[in-house]
A and B are shown apart, each in its own frame.
Chain A
Amino acid sequence: MALLEVKGARKSYGRLNALDTVNLVVESREFHGLIGPNGSGKSTLLKCIAGAEYPDEGTLTFLDEDISTTPPAVRARRGMSLKFQITSVFNLLSVYDNILLSIQAAHSLWHLAGSRSRRVLHSQVMDILSEFRIESRADDLAGELSHGEQQWLEIAMALAPRPRLLLLDEPTAGMSPEERRVTGDLLRPIKERCSMLIVEHDLDFIKDLSDVITVLDQGRVLDNGTPEQIEASERVKEVYVTRV
């Protein structure tokens, strides 16, 4: 059974067809890369999957349920987690509180009002901070972190609620080569825990990480296959050589 299935997704902004009959399948425990040149529709597709946008046509099925018009909060509670393209950590909260905010979302508001899980969640918060190598910054404000650390914090926030599917929109944007390498190291072990759909510009970064890669161009699926197949694809080479 596919974890996520997108069938015939179309999305237009006025005359611009951002997505044109896109089909995509993400299997359980699969790292799925989504690449394409600027304006190919990668981020729009990710937004439609996460619920930031709704497709004009087509269906989205997650864990065998139609989520085409489901609000983002409900998708998140069903096990979908998103890291935005533009870093959107909570700058005025501490690093620790950013993670706590992310983890405690599974609890009811009544539960939160009584702070009943603050103690229980503490070790989970510290574990995830340690995994992402920002434990020593736990009490610092998120806004004081470097760009790379903020990206890691945001990935940690997305991963903290133990999602079934992690959606990452350009997790290495603006990072130095060393930070990219560390990010790759941080993401690899996640495979044991969840599936991942990752949007990236950088083919070298994504090919080392992904089991399957889908290439989008002008809102359509150009090709789909293993990293080796995609690297060998003439159609992909043409797009990357001529337009990127």
Chain B
Amino acid sequence: MTLLNRVAGAHPGTSGRLSRLLAIELVVFVLFALMPLLLGLVWSEDDSFFWIVFTTKVLILCLFGLSFDLAWGYAGLMSFGQALFFGGAAYAVAVMSRDLDISSIFIVLPVAVAVGLVLAILLAAFLLTGSRTPSIIFVAFGTLTGSFAAERLARAWYYLGGQNGVSVTKALTIGDMPLYEGVGFYYLAFGFLVVVYIGCRFLVRSQFGLLLAGIREREERVAFLGYQVQLTRAIIFALSGAIAGLGGGLYAFHEGFVWPALMGPIYSTQAMLYVMLGGVSTLIGPVIGVTAIEFATIILIDYLRDFWIIILGVLLLLVIMFRRTGLLGMLVSERERIGSFRWRGANHKSDSRGD
């Protein structure tokens, strides 16, 4: 377990036992890995299929939530336009599929990532390259404007299907093999989530992550140490755009349809809620937040058709008011959330307060 802690850059306890944060991460991912099997044991084939398809959507939205956590939780950029990267990439692959007949995963997903990346770089260039440090409000309104403008453009542009959006009638293909919704698509989305998550985890626990932790706490001080703060933030913002783009590309083919709201402020707000509920700057927080909100929504909407959204809103409000670190903040200390960046090969006194 000590090795796992080291790999994850976690803050181990005195006995070197598994850190609480790492334990939560492992439980969540093991549950997702076994989900199709567990669903098959509990439900009939038809019901199980429904829940597998639904959970696939949840996994894709986890990528979206993760991208917002990187931007806000780690780079301090309140991106109210995160859906621009998600929806923009979804539209790009939907149009490619419709007009160019391209649905190969090896073309479609790199294009989706590139669209999210380029859109984020353009927005970062506009928001972060001024002579003054951009305020949270400036970034929030700047990104919101981009998201709102993209939604309006999609609604008004006939080529993008206007209000009706674009249908994605072709299945995603790996070579000659089509990938329809179901277990195959589930594990594809799960695989991408695992890879992206491990990559992000590695980054935020690296020396670069230490720099991000410094920026979060004292941005000005970090600049006086010699760091290019805005460039650092722009890199994370671009990365978050690329991850949202990947999610958008998968979402378009999984749902078979893209529509203007997918790029707009409502979806952007949804990303923010996922992260706020789950726990900001934790990475696993957004995964928990997406899962909790999406499952609560689909369950509540059946039983409390007219009130579900109010109940959900009140729940979110309570968490944000009384537990600003989200659900994960109830289980994991702030110290463990930030982590330790000390070289773990050295013999040193372990500190148990991180557990």
Chain A interfacial positions (CB closer than 8 Å to B): 50-52, 71-74, 76-77, 82, 84, 88, 90-94, 96-97, 100-102, 104-107, 109, 111-119, 121-122, 138-141, 157, 161
A97 to B231, CA, bound (A): 21
New A-B contacts (20) at CB < 8 Å, excluding given A111-B207, A118-B207: A52-B224, A71-B223, A76-B225, A88-B221, A90-B217, A91-B217, A92-B217, A97-B342, A100-B207, A101-B210, A105-B227, A106-B226, A109-B231, A112-B206, A113-B207, A114-B206, A115-B206, A122-B346, A139-B342, A157-B225
A30 to B33, CA, bound (A): 64
In the bound complex, do residue B206 and residue A113 qualify as a contact, i.e. CB atoms below 8 Å apart? Answer: yes
* Given A119-B345, A122-B343, A122-B346, CB of A73 within 8 Å of CB of B223: yes
CB distance from B11 to the nearest CB of A (A): 9
Contacts of A119 in B (CB 8 A): 343, 345
CB distance from A98 to the nearest CB of B (A): 9
Interface size classification for chain B:
35 or more
Query: Chain B 340-355 against A: per-residue CB contact (8 Å), 1 yes, 0 no?
Result: 1111011011110000
In the bound complex, do residue A161 and residue B225 qualify as a contact, i.e. CB atoms below 8 Å apart? Answer: yes
CB distance from A223 to the nearest CB of B (A): 30
Q: Which residue of B lies closest to A122 (CB)?
A: B343
Contacts of B208 in A (CB 8 A): 109, 112-113, 115
Please report the number of residue pairs spanning A and B whose Cβ atoms sit closer than 8 angstroms.
114
B214 within 8 A of partner (CB): yes
Query: Chain B 315-345 against A: per-residue CB contact (8 Å), 1 yes, 0 no?
Result: 0000000000000000000110010111101
B52 within 8 A of partner (CB): no
A161 to B222, CA, bound (A): 13
Contacts of B217 in A (CB 8 A): 90-93
* Given A112-B208, A113-B206, CB of A105 within 8 Å of CB of B345: no
B156 within 8 A of partner (CB): no
Q: Which residue of A lies closest to B217 (CB)?
A: A90
Chain B interfacial positions (CB closer than 8 Å to A): 203, 206-208, 210-211, 213-214, 217-218, 221-229, 231-232, 235, 334-335, 338, 340-343, 345-346, 348-351
- A sample of 18 cross-chain residue pairs with beta-carbon separation below 8 angstroms, ordered by A number, consists of A72-B223, A76-B225, A76-B226, A91-B217, A92-B213, A93-B210, A94-B340, A94-B342, A101-B211, A105-B225, A109-B231, A109-B235, A112-B207, A112-B211, A118-B341, A157-B225, A161-B225, A161-B226
A88 touches which of B210, B211, B218 (Cβ 8 Å) = B218
